[in-house]
A and B are shown apart, each in its own frame.
Chain A
Amino acid sequence: MTTTPPGLNEVLQRTFSFPKRHFLSVTDLNEVEVANLLDLADGFVSLNRQTAKKLDLLKGRTLMNLFFENSTRTQSSFELAGKRLGADVVNMSPRSSAMSKGETLIDTAVTLNAMQPDLLVIRHASSGAASLLSQKVTCSVVNAGDGQHEHPTQALLDALSMRRAFGRIAGLSVAICGDVLHSRVARSNIALLQMLGAEVRLVGPPTLIPSQADRWNVAIHHDMREGIKGCDVVMMLRLQLERMDGVMAPSQREYFRFFGLDREKLAFAAPHVRVMHPGPMNRGVEIDSDVADDLSVSLIQDQVEMGVAARMAVLTSLAARLDNDR
Chain B
Amino acid sequence: MPTLKVIDNRALSDDTYILRTERPLASIKAGQCFSLGTSDLGINREYSMYSSAKDSYVDFMIRKVPEGRVSNKLSTLCSGDEIQLSGPYGEFCLPEDEIQTSTYLFIASGTGIAPFHSFVLSHPLLNYRIIHGVRFENETYDKEAYSRDRYVPCISQPNTRNYGQRVTDFLLKNSFATDTKVYLCGNRNMIVDAIEILRTKGFSGDSIFTEAFF
* A and B part of one assembly: no
B: which residues have CB within 8 A of A? Answer: none
A: which residues have CB within 8 A of B? Answer: none
